[in-house]
Amino acid sequence: MKVAIVGGGICGLYLGWKLAERKEKVVLFEKEEKVGEKACSSLFSERIFNFLPFAQNFIENEIDYCLLHFQKKDVFLRFSEKFFAFDRFLLQNQLLKIAKDAGAEIVLGKRVDESFLEKILKDFDRVIGADGADSIVRKFLKLKKPNFLLGIQGFVKKRDFSNLAEVWPTQNGFFWKIPRGEKVEYGIVEVGERSKRIFQELKEKENLKFETIKSAPLAQGLVLPFDPKVTLCGEASALTKPWSYGGVIWGLTQANFLLESFPDFISFSKKTKRFFSYKVCASKLLKKLVFSVAPKAEFLLPSLIKIDGDFLFF
């Protein structure tokens, strides 16, 4: 089958690699001239090695705990699996090479619009939108608009190999600090202008001298078509964790569902909904409960909680 993939992020490249290995005729279109430069903390659990074994070569630091700072109490989150901060640029470019070597055609610097999508639909048997939060494929299909937040991250050149990330809750999201070995990352995820304001306040308060600042929209809500020819995967389908807004492990899990179901996109959508809908709803409710209780009764929160960083307790 001729398969078009729109988007050269981790999910898109992973699908390109695996489908090309099956001898499908894969063409992947990526709007940027280079891959791996998108704003992303690239803090993944060891589950990443189940999908990308070579990722072990691009570890910057290991993270075992997260310290959650409420107003009057700190809570340690201990992860049931190891987490690692990765060099996103090197990781994604290695994945690009592997996809190419498997036989996928990668077209960089190609911005796909609706008219080009119409052409793709005529020329290809299957079309996969893996084009991120602001997915043109999702818009083309006229699916419902997901919820959006804005993620901003900055990097300070400071050597720090500690195994503790820190998080401070905000009204709709949180800001964070992640030690990445040769640098430290600070970031915020919040609603639009509030995200920019909090990030600027943090920068001024802590007198942070950022070498690099990046930003990107984050989509949340799980939006999928039931179309036999076109589907979405990863953040294009607004599949991100409601508590952290990370999407790579969930997206790769979803990508495997697509590979298992291929070329049946209806079956894929049903399988994704069955697996993730409950997890999205339950974790949203849990997050809302914790964040509403904490300001009023922080003493009820335990000092140490062990969680699955990808799926919480679900």
pLDDT at residue 272, as a whole number: 98
What's the CATH number where 15 sits?
A: 3.50.50.60
Q: Which residues pair with 66 in a beta bridge?
A: 77, 165
Q: Does the pLDDT of residue 299 top 80, yes or no?
A: no
Is position 122 within any domain?
Answer: yes
The sign of the dihedral angle between the CA atoms of 102, 250, 260, 2 is negative
Most confident of 37-41, 92-96, 171-175: 92-96
How confident is the model over 252-264, as a mean pLDDT? 99
Where residue 312 falls among pLDDT bands split at 50, 70, 90?
Answer: confident
Q: Does the pLDDT of residue 198 top 90, yes or no?
A: yes
pLDDT at residue 277, as a whole number: 95
Domain span holding position 264: 2-307
Torsion of CA 8, 133, 151, 245, to 10 degrees: -100
How confident is the model over 199-222, as a mean pLDDT? 95
Is position 314 within any domain?
Answer: no
Domain count, the chain: 1
How many whole angstroms separate alpha carbon 166 and alpha carbon 169?
10
Q: Which strand (E) or helix (H) includes residue 63? A: strand 59-69
Q: Does the pLDDT of residue 45 top 70, yes or no?
A: yes
Is position 20 within any domain?
Answer: yes
Decide: 84 and 59 in contact? Cβ < 8 Å. Answer: yes
Is position 312 within any domain?
Answer: no
Q: Are strands 59-69 and 74-86 parallel, antiparallel or unpaired?
A: antiparallel
pLDDT at residue 314, as a whole number: 66
Is position 173 within any domain?
Answer: yes
> What single letter denotes the amino acid at residue 259?
L
DSSP per-residue letters across 251-284: HHHHHHHHHHHTT-HHHHHHHHHHHHHHHHHHHH
Decide: 170 and 195 in contact? Cβ < 8 Å. Answer: no
pLDDT at residue 300, as a whole number: 77
How confident is the model over 282-296, as a mean pLDDT? 80
Is position 220 within any domain?
Answer: yes
